[in-house]
Structure 1
Amino acid sequence: MSVRHALLALLSDGPKYGLQLRHEFESRTGEVWPLNVGQVYTTLQRLERDGLVASDGAEDGPQKGYRITDHGAIELTAWLQTPPEMAQPPRDELLIKVLVATQVPEVDVHEVIQVHRRHLIEAMQRYTAVKVDADPDDAALALVIDAELFRIEAAVRWLDTAEVRLPRHAAPPSAAPGPPTPPDASDEAAHETAHETAEPQEVRS
């Protein structure tokens, strides 16, 4: 999520001050991603430094206003029309955990999969409940919930696929120590013969 470009989008329909931007960001994204007010002001300072927004010249504070510049409008349009980078898979934590679990001795990767599947199903149930109770006219919240439900459903389907694939590709269990190898009979006989034929050493005073 680009807070930088989200703030530019909010400023595109008129000047606003920091606390107003925070409130509008949360309301327009269904209040799913809380935004720290300190992050808002830090981002605005960087946008002003880069010439993408301009302030009203007032001292720093909750009532200091900002507006988007022409350069900022061009930057916003370019960001909106640029597809996200998809050449390399993202570092998905769930994927990494399952891959690591296949390599850790004494860890049942299928148990790991089941733990995460249960967690995802519970998350789907929570989002579904929110969707049922949500205002039908709140398009922003509906879009956020739909996106999360689709994302979680995809993760569950991936876990189902992993459950099928892993028996063929799971790491072999660590070798347990076996019983000691019994000595060879010929070795025992040779040892006894050598002991019987050995001459006693002369003791010198």
Structure 2
Amino acid sequence: MSIRHGLLALLEPGARYGARLRTEFLARTGGTWPLNIGQVYTTLGRLERDGLVVQDGVDRAGRVLYALTEAGRVELRAWFTRPVQRVSPPRDELAIKLVMAVGAPGVDVRTVVGTQRRHVTEALHGYVRQRAEALARAHEHPDELARLLVLEQLVFHAEAESRWLDICEARLVRLIRAGDAEE
């Protein structure tokens, strides 16, 4: 998630100080994506530099409040209307690990796949359990809807990774059998 735009969205209702923004970010995302306070203040500094937020006084405790500028509101609206680009997928450590394991001497790629499958299955069970809990509370607590959406994404990603691992394993088995047949 774009921390930059996430903070703009959290500032939309009104001025906030950094620690509160962090707390609200973690609450909205169900704590799925850790955000340290240093990231918050670094991002606020960049947003201020770019004219998207301004310091808006201090609260009773002496904490600096940040508020959206009109340019910040325009940027936030534009962000909500733009699709998230998928043209440059992020590097995936698992894909890199499997690619490197294929040619590595002494590495059983099927063991690497099996280890990951056990991990993703465990994670999937945890996400499904958390999703059920969030769904049960969604009617009582509106904030649970945001958490529920994040958990749905995590479930679908884990399911997709599991399917991909199935394909990898099937391909490896076919290649091993084909190699054995040639000998």
| Interval containing the TM-score (normalised by the shorter chain) | 0.7 to 0.9
Does the 8 Å contact 1:18/1:62 carry over to 2?
Answer: no
Correspondence list, 1:56-75, <5 A: 56-58=56-58, 63-75=63-75
CA distance in 2, matches of 1:114, 1:158: 12
**Considering only CA atoms, is the larger Rg found in Structure 1 or Structure 2?**
1
Does the 8 Å contact 1:17/1:62 carry over to 2?
Answer: no
Segments ≥4 residues shifted beyond 3 Å: 167-170
Amino acid at match of 1:101: A
CA distance in 2, matches of 1:57, 1:84: 34
State the 1:51 CA deviation.
Answer: 0.3
Q: Does 1:143 align with 2:155?
A: no
Correspondence list, 1:35-46, <5 A: 35-46=35-46
Correspondence list, 1:1-205, <5 A: 1-58=1-58, 63-134=63-134, 135-137=137-139, 138-169=144-175
For the residue of structure 2 that corresponds to 1:155, the secondary structure is helix
CA distance in 1, matches of 2:157, 2:123: 11
State the 1:28 CA deviation.
Answer: 1.2
More helix by share: 2
State the 1:116 CA deviation.
Answer: 0.3
CA distance in 1, matches of 2:8, 2:110: 45
**Identity rate of aligned residues, in percent?**
49
For the residue of structure 1 that corresponds to 2:51, the secondary structure is coil
TM-score using structure 1 length = 0.76
Does the 8 Å contact 1:28/1:140 carry over to 2?
Answer: yes
Deviates more, 1:94-103 or 1:149-158: 94-103
Q: Deviations over 1:98-138 (max 9, x none)?
A: 11111112211111110100000010111122223332331
After superposition, the CA RMSD in angstroms is 2.3
Amino acid at match of 2:123: A
Instruction: For structure 2, list consecutive stretches of 5 or more residues without a partner in the other structure.
Output: none
Instruction: For structure 1, list consecutive stretches of 5 or more residues without a partner in the other structure.
Output: 174-205
Cα 1:112–1:140 shift into 2, 3 Å: same
CA distance in 2, matches of 1:22, 1:89: 27
State the 1:157 CA deviation.
Answer: 0.0
State the 1:168 CA deviation.
Answer: 4.7
Amino acid at match of 2:12: S
